[in-house]
Structure 1
Amino acid sequence: MDYPRIDAYASLNSPIHSFDPRAKIITFSVLIFSFAFLENINAAAIAVAFSLLLLIVSRLPLGFVFSRIKVPLGFIVSILVIMAFTVGGKELFSIFGLRVSYEGVHLGTLIVLRATAALFLALLMLGTSRFEAILKALYMLRVPGILVQMLMFTYRYIFVFIDEFGNMKNAMESKGFQIKGNSRHALSILGNAVGMLLVKSYERGDRVYSSMVARGYTGNPIILTKFKMKGSDYVLSGVLLSAAVLFHIFPVIL
């Protein structure tokens, strides 16, 4: 099965795409943390607009963006509903006896705006660079090699295991297996299938490691691509880092 990659549009031409991966990781990470700690709802709303502007500049297709954010965005919006009904304060209205408070709506909206802005930035960081370039940049930024390689192998083999489970599911269904309600028998069979998948994963991992060692693997990634900062990279880094600071000065000015 052909799965859509997070870096499917990493070859586009835009200022964000040509941004040095090392600088991109640092600046976007600072921006994400900056947006995550905003306390003013107006600043958080502007942060979302700023993130959308960066998305437009990156020229990533809207369909691609929506397909990547719809699931986490649905989870984020659910936080607003939960906060509206659970946080105490001034009552706005009630639904079937459940009170909706102003403080809950305000706090929930703030959380949703902050998380949405951070989500857009994370998609920009990962969607405008090849995943291999991101991994190499992390290694060059002195992130422990074991963590970088864990990310690499997870991304590489998660689709293999999804295919493996799909094949097992098709084999079970071809023999008449169906999940009906809360059938303990069906759940038991699913549990056995998941256990078998874990066993196959372990065996595959052992085979892959043995083959890598046979080819000279020493535990350290080999980087062939060299990154070089350009003048435009320094300018864009300065603009984004300045924005991260200004978003916290903005509420003080208000």
Structure 2
Amino acid sequence: MAFASLEAYVHGNSVVHRWPPRLKLVGLGVLMFAFATVQQGILLLPIAAIAAVLYGLSRLPLGFLSHRLRYPGLFIAAVVVLLPFTAGDTVIAQWGWLALRQEGLEAASLIVVRFVSILTLGFILLGTTPFLTIIQAMRGLGLPVILADMTLLAYRYLYEIADNLATMQKSMALRGFGHQPRRWGVSRRTVQQLAMLVGSLLLRSYEQSERVYKAMRLRGYGYGQGNQATLGRTNVDAQSLVGWGLTVAVLAMAVCIVAVEVALSIG
């Protein structure tokens, strides 16, 4: 399944895999925030290089990243594809009525590089850390218990919803859906059938959530006090020292990026 494929490489042996989860979450989260603040074109190459180096340290295959950047990449391409031709006044090249503009090209480059760099850091986190470990790390950093439980349940039942959707799609195909000769556009009947599919899936999901909630209440959920995070104390060993060193380095890079951005903006 697509969801499970995110955790296909979480049991690797790279320095990023051995990075303690809470430190990794803080370091990569702060670095993503620093990337998001970049507005100066001179910083695009450094943030792309930092993302590439961290991805190399994670030892994740390039296919893992390229496969997952495909659909977000199509979305961002649809957003920025017209910018180089519509934004700005400085014309770099012109072909008849079509003009390539410097300001639009710079804006498109800024959006694309930031987008890809931030997503790369996110996939490094998800590709080297089990999702349950990420939630535990967030609990250890102060995430409210109710939010952690809601996230875990949502993650767990995404698999159920995906299985239900696959079963319903197979049933519709066996009943002839999609076998009619295609004409231009989408027929009204097709839209109605897809709407019924989505509605049925929502109803099943709601009914299942009610059953899960009642089962949890019957087992005492919400009545006890055992809601504290269970992350143990971090042992001071070579692995944790490497993790702390990597965290300090990542945070230092984030601070440098923000400082340079502020300095260039003021200057």
If the length of structure 2 is used for normalisation, what is the TM-score? 0.86
**1:187 counterpart = 2:191:** yes
Q: How does 1:192-231 map to 2 (within 5 A)?
A: 192-218=196-222, 223-226=229-232, 228=234, 230-231=240-241
Q: CA deviation at 1:224?
A: 4.5
Contact 1:14 1:57 in 2 (8 A): yes
Q: Secondary structure at the match of 2:92?
A: strand
Q: How does 1:80-91 map to 2 (within 5 A)?
A: 80-91=80-91
Aligned mates of 1:102, 1:191 — CA distance in 2: 45
Aligned mates of 2:38, 2:82 — CA distance in 1: 20
Using the TM superposition, name which of 166-175 and 143-152 deviates more. 143-152
- Residue 234 of structure 1 is matched in structure 2 by 244
Count of aligned pairs between the two proteins: 254
Aligned mates of 1:85, 1:10 — CA distance in 2: 42
Q: How does 1:43-122 map to 2 (within 5 A)?
A: 43-94=43-94, 97-122=97-122
Using the TM superposition, name which of 81-90 and 11-20 deviates more. 81-90
- Residue 16 of structure 2 is matched in structure 1 by 16
Q: Deviations over 1:72-96 (max 9, x none)?
A: 1332344432321331321223456
Pairwise CA RMSD: 2.4
Q: Deviations over 1:127-169 (max 9, x none)?
A: 1111100001111111122222222222211221122112111
Contact 1:36 1:118 in 2 (8 A): yes
User: For residue 228 of structure 1, what is the amino acid of its counterpart?
Assistant: T
Q: Deviations over 1:205-244 (max 9, x none)?
A: 1111222223332287565552516222221111100011
Aligned mates of 2:158, 2:197 — CA distance in 1: 17
User: For residue 220 of structure 2, what is the amino acid of its counterpart?
Assistant: G
Aligned mates of 1:227, 1:86 — CA distance in 2: 55
Q: Deviations over 1:177-231 (max 9, x none)?
A: 2274321112111111111111100111111122222333228756555251622
Aligned mates of 2:161, 2:200 — CA distance in 1: 11
If the length of structure 1 is used for normalisation, what is the TM-score? 0.90
Aligned mates of 1:212, 1:28 — CA distance in 2: 34
Aligned mates of 2:96, 2:205 — CA distance in 1: 49
Q: How does 1:152-163 map to 2 (within 5 A)?
A: 152-163=152-163
Using the TM superposition, name which of 51-60 and 242-251 deviates more. 242-251
Using the TM superposition, name which of 62-71 and 77-86 deviates more. 77-86
Q: Secondary structure at the match of 1:99?
A: strand
User: For residue 89 of structure 2, what is the amino acid of its counterpart?
Assistant: G
Unaligned runs of 5+ in 2: none
Q: Secondary structure at the match of 2:11?
A: coil
Q: Structure 1's 217 and 5: CA in aligned 2 closer, same or farther, altered over 3 A?
A: farther
Contact 1:87 1:104 in 2 (8 A): yes
Contact 1:9 1:128 in 2 (8 A): yes
Aligned mates of 1:175, 1:71 — CA distance in 2: 30
Q: Secondary structure at the match of 2:150?
A: helix
Using the TM superposition, name which of 183-192 and 85-94 deviates more. 85-94
User: For residue 197 of structure 1, what is the amino acid of its counterpart?
Assistant: L
Unaligned runs of 5+ in 1: none
Q: Structure 1's 51 and 209: CA in aligned 2 closer, same or farther, altered over 3 A?
A: same
Aligned mates of 2:232, 2:97 — CA distance in 1: 62
Aligned mates of 2:76, 2:195 — CA distance in 1: 30
Aligned mates of 1:18, 1:36 — CA distance in 2: 26
Aligned mates of 2:61, 2:123 — CA distance in 1: 12
Q: Structure 1's 48 and 2: CA in aligned 2 closer, same or farther, altered over 3 A?
A: closer
